[in-house]
Structure 1
Amino acid sequence: MTYYTGSVAAVPAANKTKYAEHAEAAWPLFASYGATRMVETWGVDVPRGKVTDFYGAVNAREGEAIVFSWIAWPDRATADAAWQKMEGDPAMKELPEMPFDGSRMIFGGFSPVFERGDHTGARYYQGFLLAVPEKNKAAYEEMAEEGWQMFSKGGALGLIENWGEDVLHGKKTDFYRATKAKEDEVPVFSWSAWPDRATCDAAAKAMEAEMGNMDMSAMPFDGMRMMWAGFEPLFDSGAKA
């Protein structure tokens, strides 16, 4: 089963080109370890939240943009082995210096619990972070199906919901702090893929009207702590030339 390393980082807006170049230089190395795809997306519609948001998730500073990214692996075993190899690989030191503060980046390992459609060729993404009680996993999967019905009707290309499997606690930032997760909750890292931002924005308005009649208290997680934002692809190893 596909396994994802998901991450969120704050990158100085002035370093956008350098970040894309760093990703492009790093991809061949990840591919040599068995990764099947790497996607880096740049925040273009990142709202401020009342309880949580992407800026707070990575302690973003003035002038920094949010990057939402993932690396796909054929399975968790391949991903775990790859990270172990990287620690002692001299090739890692030959990569360009990271153009951002890596100590504030949050990352973890996730397995898809719901996957529909395809995000190959997407030109816009909506990224989501939230915390879901472990006992509500099945209910969350059912809700994802309902969400996909609305997304697909609005023109979405795909939807992937990923359940935290190997999410560590960090010294400065992590997915638990980002979502204000409680002791029995699991971080979820997800995205919907769209042909363009205009299609996504139009669908969002339609969904807001439709969800206005829904009983939000019945959701299997605390929606007040969920964060979402719009991102454009910056680097995609699977993009067609």
Structure 2
Amino acid sequence: MANYIDGFVFPILQKNLNAYRDVAEKVAEIWKEYGALAYFEYVGDDLTLEGTRSFMDVLEAKEDEVIVFGWVVFPSKEVRDLANKQVPEDLRMTTLVAPLTQPERLIFNASRMVYGGFQALVKSNE
């Protein structure tokens, strides 16, 4: 169970989802070039369970927003740490991500993202 993951959750305007997906598909390939084994992003579909807080509530999402939940799998924390240093310096990332974060065209607001690195606790593939 040596794999290590970075996990993240954030709200995004429904109308910006396709533009975001186009960028995320390219970003996923860059992460894999720097050592990620896999890259996943999913859009919330069924976000309520009685007796629990929903992602919508926790992230204070608005009616016109959807929740994106994703994770990146690495072979180890060391590979992840190195990738987290290298990926932001890759010029392709600047080209891809900068337009999404410009105030006049804000598609992705990193200040509303919840993020963390996780080591394996339970792993059941079968």
Contact 1:131 1:225 in 2 (8 A): yes
Aligned counterparts, 1:51-200, within 5 A: 123-168=3-48, 173-200=53-80
Higher fraction of helix: 2
Counterparts of 2:14 and 2:57, CA distance in 1: 17
- Structure 1 residue 174: deviation in Å? 1.8
Long gaps (5+) in structure 2: none
Question: Is the partner of 1:188 in helix, strand or coil?
Answer: strand
Q: TM-score, normalised by structure 2?
A: 0.81
- Tell me the equivalent position of 1:232: 119
Question: How far is the alpha carbon of 1:172 from its aligned partner?
Answer: 6.1
The gaps in structure 1 that reach 5 residues or longer are 1-120
Deviation per residue, 1:79-124 (Å, 9 max, x gap): xxxxxxxxxxxxxxxxxxxxxxxxxxxxxxxxxxxxxxxxxx7610
- The SS at the match of 2:107 is coil
When normalised by structure 1's length, the TM-score is 0.45
Report if aligned partners of 1:169, 1:176 keep a CA contact under 8 Å in 2: no
More strand by share: 1
Q: Distance in 2 between matches of 1:180 and 1:222?
A: 13
TM-aligned CA distance change 1:219 to 1:154, over 3 Å: farther
CA contact (8 A) 1:122 1:157 kept: no
Q: CA deviation at 1:195?
A: 0.4
Give the drift of 1:219: 5.6
CA spacing shift, 1:179–1:206, aligned 2, 3 Å:
same
Q: Which amino acid aligns with 1:130?
A: F
Asked whether 1:220 is paired with 2:107, we answer yes
Q: Please tell me whether residue 201 in structure 1 is matched to residue 81 in structure 2.
A: yes
Higher RCO structure, 1 or 2 (CA under 8 Å, sep 6+): 2
The answer (yes or no) to whether the contact 1:124–1:196 under 8 Å persists in 2 is yes
Larger Rg: 1
Distance 1:142 1:185, change over 3 A: same
Aligned counterpart, 1:17:
none
Aligned residue in 2 for 1:78: none
Q: Please report the RMSD computed on the Cα atoms of aligned residues, expressed in angstroms.
A: 2.3
